[in-house]
Amino acid sequence: GDIWDWVQAGGDASDLFDLVDKHARPWTKEPPKSRFGAVTWDRLDEAGQEHEYLIEDILTRHEVAVIYGESGSGKSFEAIDMAMAVDRGVPFNGKEVRKGGVIYQAGEGGIGVKLRLRAYRQTYMEPGERVDFVLLPSRVDLFAKPGEQDVETSRGTDALIAEIKAWAETFT
C-alpha cells in the first residue's frame, strides 16, 4: 500500500514523524567532484594510497617539495644530492631511494647549477655513467596567466608543465 492505506489503517501525522525520525537519513548536500583527490574527514581511515617515497621519509612521489632557506645555506647542493640519488638509485644520507628520472628546474635561474652538477659528476659518478636527468635553468614566470601567451613561447607554469611532461616521456 501507500500512505493513504496507512492513514486508513489508523496511522496519523505524529506516527509518520516518529517513523521519519527513526528511519530517515539526514539530508546532506552532494559533495563536489574533486580534481585534487579530496578525502573527507570521515574517510581518513579508509584504505587507500599513502605516501610513496622516492627518498624514505624525506621526498614523496607525485607531490610538490620545496627546499627553503637563506642564501648560501646549501639548498642547491642538497637539492642536487637528492636529485642525483633518485636519478642514480643510490642511498641518500642512509635512506633508501627509489630510482627514477629527474627534471631539475632551477628556481634560482640556474646560476652555478651546471658547475655544481659537473662537480657532482666528477666526484661521485663513473666515467660514462648515464642518467635520465634534464636541467631546466631558465626562470619560470609564476605570474603568467593561462592563455596569455602561446605555450610554445611562454615561460609560465602551463608551459613548464607541458615541457616536463614532454621530457618525462623520453626517460627510459
* CA neighbor of 39 nearest in space, from 27, 50, 25: 50
Query: How much is the pLDDT for 109?
Result: 66
Q: Give me the DSSP letters along 33-71.
A: PPSS----GGGTTSS-----EEETTTEETTS-------T
Q: Check whether 30 has a pLDDT greater than 70.
A: yes
10: left (phi over 0), alpha (psi -120 to 50) or beta: left
Rounded to an integer, what distance in angstroms lies between the CA atom of residue 77 and that of residue 140?
Answer: 20
pLDDT at 152: 62
**Residue 71: what pLDDT?**
87
Alpha-carbon distances of 31 from 2, 13, 39, 40, 155, rounded to whole Å = 32, 32, 11, 10, 36
* DSSP secondary structure code for residue 94 in this structure: T
Instruction: Single out the residue of 171, 150, 110, 137 nearest to residue 162, CA to CA.
Output: 150
Q: Is the pTM of this model over 0.75?
A: no
Q: Are 108 and 74 in contact (CB under 8 A)?
A: no
Q: What are phi and psi of 128, to 5 degrees?
A: 80, 0
Helix (H, G, I), strand (E, B), or coil: what is residue 154?
coil
pLDDT at 148 over 90: no
| pLDDT given at position 89 | 97
CB distance 100 to 56 below 8 Å: no
Summarize pLDDT for 10-23 with one digit per residue, the tens. 888 888 888 888 88
Task: Tell me the mean pLDDT in the region 110-126.
Answer: 91
Confidence of residue 38 (pLDDT cuts 50, 70, 90): confident
Look at residue 80 and give its three-state secondary structure: helix
Find, among 74, 96, 76, the residue nearest to 85 by Cα. Answer: 96
